[in-house]
Amino acid sequence: MMKTVQRGALIVIEGVDRSGKSTQCKKLVESLISQNIKAQLMNFPDRSNLTGKLINEYLINSDCKLNDRAIHLLFSANRWENVEKMNTLLYGGTTLVVDRYSYSGIAFSAAKGGMDMNWLKQAENGLPKPDLVFLLTLNHEEAAKRVGFGEERYENEAMQKKVSNIFSQLAKEEDNWRVIEASDSIESLQAILLGHTLDVIARVAKQELKSLHF
Ligand code: Z5A
Ligand code: MG
């Protein structure tokens, strides 16, 4: 009898700066692996590939001038550079836990203003669609208290508030989002995220991966 191929789930964590995305992504991968579930971490921007090197320069160097549409497309291209790798892993049965994705791309560019929302979304259409998106919400006062805030471009209150509003708007457009208030302890947040993730892994195992279509 032929063995049924089971794919992994595509799980994304989004949220404003310092909301704990990287912390939760790392812990989620560890928790899954400890339960003998194949899992891997991925993060965007992926600063290791070709587009990622340009993006890193843009983020850390405030003197780096780049047209807003050009940097938007670079962030998107940075995801497209990883499509084959994502599909191979997912269809090989590995669950991917992704630290920021297309929604960060849309929200940060939209928060700058001057670019049409549909144009911003267009560059993301066709990328693998997440099975589940967690949105970690945290007010600016709490975020600003956390280590490392304010070191890169975009890490200021006005920008973060706009981004937060756009994330909330995007969360309402699809039914695969879970909005989680992120001021609780790392451990209690992790328990919530793991619960939802295990449900989704079981539910989508035999379903085909969808593509983003805004
Ligand atoms: N960007 C874009 O414009 N377009 C795109 O398409 C994409 C991104 C993908 C860099 O992203 C920038 O790129 C970002 C968006 C833009 N600009 N901004 N803002 P990044 O992902 O590389 O950013 P980062 O430097 O990793 O920061 P971060 O991701 O915003 O932080 P975080 O991952 O959410 O937080 P953390 O590193 O897990 O935690 C921060 C600190 O808080 C740390 O000391 C933790 O120990 C602590 N922490 C975490 N959880 C808790 C709880 N629950 N309680 C107390 N303390 C906690
Ligand atoms: Mg992070």
Residues 96-106 have pLDDT tens digits of: 999 999 999 99
Q: What percent of the chain has pLDDT over 70?
A: 98
Question: Which atom of ligand 1 sits closest to the CA of residue 17?
Answer: 30
pLDDT level of residue 149 (50, 70, 90 thresholds): confident
Judged by its nearest atom, the ligand closest to the C-alpha of residue 155 is 1
Residues 19 and 143: their CA atoms lie apart, in Å, by 6
Q: Which ligand is nearest to the CA of 46?
A: 1
pLDDT tens figures, 64-121: 999 999 999 999 999 999 999 999 999 999 999 999 999 999 999 999 999 999 999 9
* Pocket perturbation via mutation, ligand 1, pick of 16, 43, 104 by most ligand atoms within 8 A of CB: 104
pLDDT at 147: 83
- Ligand nearest to C-alpha 66: 1
In the reported structure, the alpha carbon of residue 3 is separated from the centroid of ligand 1 by a whole-number distance in angstroms of 40
Q: Please state at what angle helix 21-34 crosses helix 186-204, rounded to 10 degrees.
A: 60
pLDDT band at 5 (very low <50, low <70, confident <90, very high): confident
Domains of the chain: 10-212 (3.40.50.300)
Taking the centre of ligand 2 as the mean of its atom positions, its distance from the CA of residue 22, in whole angstroms, is 4
Asked if residue 128 has pLDDT above 80, the reply is yes
Residue 138: CB partners within 8 Å, gap ≥ 6? 15, 16, 18, 19, 20, 181, 182, 183
What ipTM was assigned to the predicted interfaces of this complex?
0.97
Distance between CA 73 and CA 79 in Å, rounded? 10
Q: pLDDT digit string (tens) for 40-59?
A: 999 999 999 999 999 999 99
Could you give the CA distance from residue 21 to residue 182 in angstroms, rounded to a whole number?
Answer: 9
Nearest CA to ligand 1 atom 36: 20
Name, in order, each residue with C-beta under 8 angstroms of 177's C-beta and a sequence gap of 6 or more: 132, 133, 134, 135, 170, 171
CB contact at 8 A, 90 and 7: yes
Atom of ligand 1 nearest to the CA of 159: 19
Q: What is the pLDDT of residues 176-188, one digit of tens each?
A: 999 999 999 999 9
